[in-house]
């Protein structure tokens, strides 16, 4: 098997932990890191657990202006959007290709998965495999799955035959323009596209092994235990655990809800903390993604990014430019000027409102209040009897 992950430098320590766990349990595996970032200073390929590192500029993404395409994606959207092209490319070289998120750790040889790829072309794991039983869990898990996607795309596996390659091309093409975190409009990066795949492609297997893609969202029906230094899920060996939401704090929050005090789950979490720290987590946390910064080092705002993504006229207007360059006739210059033009009337209105309020709150205004009432009465009498 060939396994790849997609990350930027912020997730590099996690990718290392994943790669080492893969190499520990799987023989003759090739592990590839797809990096949506610049190679960091001090990165020595020979010392890394990756057999190959492919940066985003070497993927061959079929767009006319790569910098603009990158710019219109948030950091998370970008690391997701490149997965389609990476899969498409790797299936031209390797027979069986597996994707794992960088915040996953492998605990088994995955021979079961390798055997499944002899029979099936496409393999997904659903977030949930058993219905929930109360309103809290329905909201947290079932409704959350409806919003984010039935299948968790922290994992997928594809075989390099005609059907598998057709799926990879479709997946790649959808992610080129529609890999967005936009739940109100029916998208959550690549996962909602996975919901449609089983309608379009045959020989797609929904893998429900309780040991595959274990995470906080499916702990209601998966009991974790440890015996002789081996983790088990519902009595079967755990294959891989997904530490999703680790950096945001959601992983611990949901673990506290669903662990039922199970010490094995907190032992797993503490193990993961030790492993990522051993692999450079503290340094990675200080990393700012190259593609989240302008050339002068300032941060690209989400407002600037989304506006360009949603405006085809602006994409055409600045199609020959690098949106990360603020100088000259740039998108950023246009954005700042347009923002100033739109905000100026609002600023004038606010200034006039402030001045009027200062008049109303002044001592002179309060003193002359009786006179204003008299003048108002006199105007009424004049208009009434004239």
How much is the pLDDT for 384? 55
Average pLDDT of 168-189? Answer: 96
* CA separation for the pair 125, 103 (Å, rounded): 16
How does residue 379 score in pLDDT terms, banded at 50, 70 and 90? low
Is 90 exceeded by the pLDDT of residue 42? no
Closest CA to 78 of 181, 209, 226, 191: 181
Higher pLDDT: 353 or 234? It is: 234
Tell whether the model's pLDDT for residue 306 goes beyond 70.
yes
Which range has the worst mean pLDDT, 59-68, 297-306, 334-343, 373-382? Answer: 373-382
pLDDT score for 344: 57
Calculate what percentage of the chain has a pLDDT beyond 90.
84
Say if residues 106 and 3 touch (Cβ distance below 8 Å): no
Asked whether 162 and 192 are in contact (CB, 8 A), the reply is: no
Is a pLDDT exceeding 60 seen at residue 347?
Answer: no
Q: What is the mean pLDDT of residues 312-326?
A: 95
CB-based contact 22:31 (threshold 8 Å): yes
The whole-angstrom separation of Cα 295 and Cα 323 is: 9
The alpha-carbon radius of gyration of the chain (Å, integer) is 28
In whole angstroms, what is the distance from residue 120 CA to residue 158 CA? 8
Q: pLDDT value at position 340?
A: 81
Q: Are 56 and 6 in contact (CB under 8 A)?
A: no
pLDDT in tens, 9-18: 999 999 999 9
* pLDDT tens per residue across span 209-265: 999 999 999 999 999 999 988 999 999 999 999 999 999 999 999 999 999 999 999
Give the Cα separation of 383 and 386 in Å (integer): 5
What does the alpha-carbon distance between residue 119 and residue 242 come to, in Å, rounded to a whole number? 25
Alpha helices by DSSP H, 179-244: 191-200
Confidence of residue 323 (pLDDT cuts 50, 70, 90): very high
Q: Confirm if 40 and 10 have CB atoms less than 8 A apart.
A: no
> How high is the pLDDT of residue 156?
98
Q: What percent of the chain is predicted at pLDDT more than 70?
A: 91
| Measured distance CA(141)–CA(131) in Å, rounded | 10
The Cα–Cα gap between 100 and 242 comes to 9
Give the whole-angstrom CA distance, residue 270 versus residue 112: 28
How many CA atoms, within 13 angstroms, populate the side-chain half-sphere of residue 275? 21
Residues across the chain: 386
Tell me the DSSP string of 67-112: HHHHHTS-HHHHHHHHHHHHHHHHTTT-SEEEEE-TTEEE-S--HH
Residues 49 and 16: beta-carbon distance below 8 Å: yes
Cα 11 to chain center, whole Å?
12
Residue 42, judged by CB atoms within 10 A of its CB (0-12, 13-18, 19+), counts as exposed
Q: What is the pLDDT of residues 49-100, one digit of tens each?
A: 999 999 999 999 999 999 999 999 999 999 999 999 999 999 999 999 999 9
The Cβ of residue 284 has, within 10 Å, a number of other Cβ atoms equal to: 20
Rounded Cα–Cα distance for residues 281 and 13 (Å) = 5
**pLDDT of 380 higher than 80:** no
Q: 356 pLDDT exceeds 90?
A: no
Question: Is pLDDT above 90 for 194?
Answer: yes
154-177 in b/e burial notation, b at 16+ Cβ within 10 A? Answer: bbbbbbbeebbbebbebbbebbee
Cα separation, 357 vs 29, whole angstroms: 72
Q: What is the pTM of this model?
A: 0.87
Split at pLDDT 50, 70, 90, the class of 357 is confident
Topology (CATH) of 2-284: Spore Coat Polysaccharide Biosynthesis Protein SpsA; Chain A (3.90.550)
Residue 385's pLDDT band, with cuts at 50, 70 and 90, is low
Residue 3's pLDDT is 98
Question: Per-residue pLDDT for 145 more than 60?
Answer: yes
């Amino acid at each position: 098997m060939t396994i790849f992950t997609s990350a930027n430098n912020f997730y590099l320590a996690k990718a290392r932990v994943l790669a080492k766990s893969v190499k520990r349990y799987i023989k003759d595996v090739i592990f590839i890191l797809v990096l949506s970032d610049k190679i960091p200073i001090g990165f020595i390929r020979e010392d890394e657990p990756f057999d190959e590192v492919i940066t985003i500029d070497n993927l061959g993404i079929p767009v006319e202006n790569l910098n603009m395409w990158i710019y219109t994606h948030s950091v998370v959207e970008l690391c997701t959007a490149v997965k389609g092209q990476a899969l498409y490319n790797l299936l031209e070289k390797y027979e069986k290709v597996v994707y794992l998120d960088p915040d996953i750790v492998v605990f088994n040889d995955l021979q079961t998965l390798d055997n499944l790829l002899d029979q099936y072309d496409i393999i997904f794991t659903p977030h949930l495999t058993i219905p929930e039983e109360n309103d809290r869990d329905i909201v947290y898990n079932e409704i959350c799955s409806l919003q984010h996607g039935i299948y968790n795309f922290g994992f997928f596996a594809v075989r390099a035959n005609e059907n598998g390659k057709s799926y990879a091309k479709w997946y790649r093409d959808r992610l080129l323009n529609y890999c967005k975190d936009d739940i109100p409009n029916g998208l959550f990066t690549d996962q909602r596209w996975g919901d449609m795949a089983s309608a379009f492609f045959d020989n797609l297997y929904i893998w429900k092994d309780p040991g595959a893609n274990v995470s906080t969202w499916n702990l209601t029906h998966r009991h974790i235990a440890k015996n002789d230094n081996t983790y088990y899920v519902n009595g079967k060996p755990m294959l891989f655990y997904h530490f999703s939401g680790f950096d945001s704090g959601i992983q611990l929050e949901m673990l506290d809800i669903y662990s039922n005090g199970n010490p094995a789950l907190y032992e797993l979490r503490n193990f993961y903390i030790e492993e990522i720290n051993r692999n450079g987590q503290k340094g990675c946390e200080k990393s700012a993604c190259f593609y989240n910064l302008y050339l002068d080092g300032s941060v690209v705002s989400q407002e600037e990014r989304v506006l360009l993504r949603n405006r085809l006229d602006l994409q055409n207007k600045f199609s020959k430019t690098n949106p990360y360059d603020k100088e000259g006739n740039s998108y950023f210059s246009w954005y700042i000027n347009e923002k100033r033009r739109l905000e100026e009337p609002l600023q004038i209105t606010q200034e006039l409102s402030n001045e009027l309020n200062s008049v109303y709150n002044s001592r002179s205004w309060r003193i002359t209040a009786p006179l204003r009432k008299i003048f108002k009465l006199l105007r009424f009498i004049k208009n009434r009897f004239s």
